[in-house]
Structure 1
Amino acid sequence: MTAVDTPDVLVLRKGTHGIPIEQYADAIRERLPDHTVALARTPAEERDAIRDARFVTGMTFDDELLEAAENLAVFACAYAGTGHLPLDRLEERGVAVTNASGVHGPNIGEHVLGAILRFTRRFHVGARRQRRREWRHYKATELQGSTVTVVGLGAIGKSVCERLEPFGVDTIGVRYTPEKGGPTDEVIGFEGEAFDDALARTDYLVLACPLTETTRGLIDREALVTIDPEAVLVNVARGPVVDTDALVAALRSNWIRGASLDVTDPEPLPEEHPLWTFENVQITPHNAGHTPNYYDRLADIVAENRRRFDDGDSPSLRNQVLP
């Protein structure tokens, strides 16, 4: 592809959630009718097109592509997380990097709410008795009046809190900068006695935080001993935020009522892993992020950033993580 043919937006070939990447390119075209948008559908097309491209979007960006990218100015990552990218090298090259933060708010918020209601009304018990054709009542609980602690108050955490609001629950938010406040009744930090106190009062613990040095292993044996034994853990963050061995021990010893895990450590969860065997554990295969609206929401961000890029040499981009 020559410089004359260089598109305004280059879309790399890897898709996500089983949705054809063509839909992403089409969604960007709809939002940028005055721009050229090209989809590199093969490895060879990627290598050729990346040479002169200045504005590129995709799920991944490996070292080989970066080596070939002679004029790259912006890489719009199509994932919310950017830990898989060669960020140091991109920064050395002066490439602006953005992410997809915010696209998962509604769908993961609904996933969390569904998991909480499943345990509240004990639908898993009802499903088990239905399979057995067993008409026998069982005890359930109410969500109203419960305390829900949400770890991480980014787009996903805020979406969870919005969906909990009509249910009459008390909410505690956990974030790095509690002085900023948030959409919860209380906001605390990760350090000190406040977090332990929150665990002791929690009925539903929702993990919606990034994986960092602070959050890695945050829910360890001590946390699982401290938490209310009637509490339910819901993890839509990353598997290593929870100490898996400690969680298995907690479930075996009835330290907690149950867990809903969309992410695990290790992941994928091996077939022989004991977490598969607990009736009070719900496992989904990192599926909370799936939504048919993913590419549309992402295209909104990318199109806006392309227009900002048009406006100046050093634009302020939405969701910018580098530089």
Structure 2
Amino acid sequence: MTDDGPDVVVLREGVHGVSTTEYAEALRERLPADVNVARARTADEERELVPSARVVTGHRIDESLIADATRMRVFACASAGYDHLPLGALEDAGVAVTNASGVHGPNIAEHVVGVVLQFAREFRRFWRQQERHEWRRGQATELYGSTVTVFGLGAIGQAVVDRLEPFSVDTVGVRYSPEKGGPTDEVVGFDDHRGVDDALARSDYVVLACPLTETTRGIIDAAALTTMEPHAVLVNVGRGPLVETDALVAALQKNAIGGAALDVTDPEPLPPNHPLWDLENAFITPHASGHTPRYYQRLADVLAANWAAVDADELDDLRNRVR
């Protein structure tokens, strides 16, 4: 702890606009008692507090703050994605960057299982029937015995596969390094186009849990949607541009696929007049699958695990270091 100010500063902007108060409290519980944690509530407080801190954490950091942050050794990004950060300025200042990789696994995986069951068991249709006081059976299906392809076998993808296991589904994983294997029954590479097409053609559910890269941008395009079966459901909890939106809208409008559950969209936020809102076979959530009260607790666990390395200035040992 320094007499001049806090050691750790939590910036005011939280993930998805959620207050960082819980995050600061979780850090105080986990870090040594002599580590001073402060939460900036305003832009003025950020400018006042950041120069003293060895660690600054939050969803984003303004480049203007970095020049004055002469003691900062680590910026702990509160989200898994970090491309929105001023990485050049952070690197020039000698600041290491960590992210929130792994924090989203349990919460997003539960969201995926929930929306898959929603489509399988026709919960949305029955909910609408209840609102109309209408007693009419449908033809729900079973998740048991179905085939699920998961794009991305990082923390989120692995958590999805783990939670699907009790349903006795067949799983296919798509990842950059298929030689690493994975928790799925089969693994194919992103560059194995025949293998990916084969997986899409026999999948009942396709889950996108991969990062957005030049390889994955638009990976679900018109051709991929045509390859999927008419009953198949697409679930996107990765990034909106993984899917070509116009092609998806056309496929849903023609019932060329069974449906789509989208927690991320392109564009995002989804404009109020966008056709996806009005499609009965589309389920839209506002990039909310990753945030639960435990999100900030898991995020605080990452920074707490890194504190010894920060204190010893051994930044190569940082967990989740990305830069």
TM over 0.5: yes
Q: Are 2:101 and 2:155, in contact at CA under 8 Å, matched by a contact in 1?
A: yes
Q: Are 2:4 and 2:52, in contact at CA under 8 Å, matched by a contact in 1?
A: no
| Alignment partner of 1:260 is 2:261 | yes
Matches within 5 A, 1:134-283: 134-191=134-191, 192-283=193-284
Q: Are 2:77 and 2:100, in contact at CA under 8 Å, matched by a contact in 1?
A: yes
Query: Which residue is equivalent to 1:27?
Result: 26
Aligned partners of 1:267 and 1:8: how far apart in 2? 35
Query: Which residue is equivalent to 2:9?
Result: 10
Aligned partners of 2:39 and 2:47: how far apart in 1? 12
TM-fit CA distance, 1:295 = 1.2
Give the letter aligned to residue 208 of structure 2. L
Q: Deviations over 1:59-93 (max 9, x none)?
A: 11111111222232111111111011011221222
Q: Are 2:73 and 2:310, in contact at CA under 8 Å, matched by a contact in 1?
A: no
> Please, what is the CA RMSD of the aligned residues?
1.5
- Any unmatched runs of 5+ in structure 1? none
1:134–1:100 distance in 2 versus 1, CA, 3 Å = same
Q: Deviations over 1:103-153 (max 9, x none)?
A: 111111000000000011111111121111111111111111110000011
Matches within 5 A, 1:47-126: 47-126=47-126
| Alignment partner of 1:36 is 2:31 | no
Aligned partners of 2:117 and 2:315: how far apart in 1? 47
Q: Are 2:145 and 2:169, in contact at CA under 8 Å, matched by a contact in 1?
A: yes
TM-fit CA distance, 1:312 = 4.1
Q: Are 1:55 and 1:306, in contact at CA under 8 Å, matched by a contact in 2?
A: no
SS state at 2:15 partner: coil
Aligned partners of 1:95 and 1:19: how far apart in 2? 25
Give the alignment's TM-score, normalised by structure 2: 0.95
- Any unmatched runs of 5+ in structure 2? none
Q: Deviations over 1:15-67 (max 9, x none)?
A: 23564322211111111123221222221221122223222111111111112
Matches within 5 A, 1:299-318: 299-318=300-319
Give the alignment's TM-score, normalised by structure 1: 0.95
Q: Are 2:143 and 2:169, in contact at CA under 8 Å, matched by a contact in 1?
A: yes
Q: Are 1:13 and 1:58, in contact at CA under 8 Å, matched by a contact in 2?
A: yes
Aligned partners of 2:17 and 2:70: how far apart in 1? 31
SS state at 2:75 partner: strand
Give the letter aligned to residue 302 of structure 2. I
Aligned partners of 2:315 and 2:274: how far apart in 1? 50
SS state at 2:100 partner: coil
Aligned partners of 1:313 and 1:276: how far apart in 2? 49
Q: Are 2:210 and 2:238, in contact at CA under 8 Å, matched by a contact in 1?
A: yes
Q: Percent identity?
A: 63
Give the letter aligned to residue 40 of structure 2. A
| Larger mean Cα displacement after TM superposition, 33-42 or 91-100 | 33-42
Aligned partners of 2:142 and 2:163: how far apart in 1? 16
Query: Which residue is equivalent to 1:128?
Result: 128
List structure 1 runs of 4+ shifted beyond 4 angstroms. Answer: none
SS state at 1:10 partner: strand
